[in-house]
Amino acid sequence: MPDAVEMEFPNPKIVAGLQVRDPEFLDILGSSPKLVELVKTDAHEGGAWYPDKDEFYFSSNKLTSSTGQIKTDLKKVNLRTRNVTNLSAPENNTPNGMVLDNDGNLVVCQQGSLNQGGFIQRINLKTMKNTVVADNWFGVPFNSPNDAVVKRDGSIWFTDPSYGSVQGFRSTPKVNNQVYRISNIGVVDAVADGFTQPNGLAFSHDEKHLYVTDTGFAVGVQGKYDATKPHSITVFDVGVDGFLTNRRLFASVGVYDGSYPGLGVPDGIKVDTQERVYVSTVDGVQVFNQLGKPLGLIRQPSVSNMGFAGRNLDTLYILNDTTISYVQLQVRAAGLKYAGSSH
């Protein structure tokens, strides 16, 4: 690794499976970065660390050969024992992204089914009692909620693309694909639209900016892409009233080596306390500085999501449908109020 410091930039260089595009990436990686496989499992979305029991919650996403339908499950892995547990759920539940709220409850994006609209669910991880936080906007059912974040004030923000309908387990959408906010008293507001398929979202450390990924390039059917659709990250300013202004492009995501499918699919997104942005995509986890400049790549094929964990919130766990792997970084994750406090 010491030789890496002497590399010339800006031409991308590969160090032990880590592609460095800017010297700042070396500060993130530290002196001896190593990507380690934690467990083989069908981990697709989620990536929420529960510090009380050192458990990492995630969802699976499988195409069943018998029915041709997407089947999803809510699961957890104990980071000490590496044991994976499948948590029982009602038949109509189709969990996707998730996050801990400020009280340590698990907030899950449930995509719904042909018989039930999508909804946002809260699970008390001590009792496993679950409640529905919201399931509609002005009486209109959600499409297929995808990912969520919780602001310091307790409000829940989530994306609502139409992948459920595309993949055949949800009915035709009755509303545009939007980004929503749920207040502490349960009021649902649409805060952004104009996306093809809004997907991951994350606040900056100071919560003055909101990042939203758009994976419209990925049609929603395995192996099919539309190069005319977005593969990008949008950033908004967050007003004191909680509404969004000054929409702009943060980054358009490609593939570092130009391999198939040629363009990126920016799915999950996280931010550290130095306002650097981490995005899961087809060639791994791409990292950008706060201005949208690419810094480097943690190479891992077909990464769908990720999550920070550990006492110092410095270990990034990476999900790619077949494994959960991790790498310890020289950073601290932002936006994890409950996990970042002492328990």
Is 67 a residue whose pLDDT tops 60?
no
Q: Residue 188's domain spans which residues?
A: 13-338
Residue 180's CATH number = 2.120.10.30
What digits encode the pLDDT tens for the residues 188-240?
A: 999 999 999 999 999 999 999 999 999 999 998 888 999 999 999 999 999 99
* Residue 278 within any structural domain of the chain: yes
For the chain, how many structural domains are there in total? 1
* Residue 1 within any structural domain of the chain: no
| Integer Cα distance of 269 and 77 in angstroms | 21
* Residue 343 within any structural domain of the chain: no
* Residue 6 within any structural domain of the chain: no
How are strands ordered across the β-sheet holding 13-15?
13-15, 18-20, 294-299, 284-288, 277-281, 269-271
* Residue 22 within any structural domain of the chain: yes
Give me 289's structure tokens: 């500085």
* Residue 218 within any structural domain of the chain: yes
What digits encode the pLDDT tens for the residues 146-177?
A: 999 999 999 999 999 999 888 888 889 999 99
Tell me the torsion sign for CA atoms 113, 58, 291, 203.
positive
Mean pLDDT of the chain: 91
Residue ranges of alpha helices (H) inside 192-331 are none
Give me 51's structure tokens: 């510090």
* Residue 105 within any structural domain of the chain: yes
Tell the burial category of 217 from Cβ atoms under 10 Å away from its Cβ (0-12, 13-18, 19+): buried
CA 323 to chain centre: 16
| DSSP conformation class of 128 | -
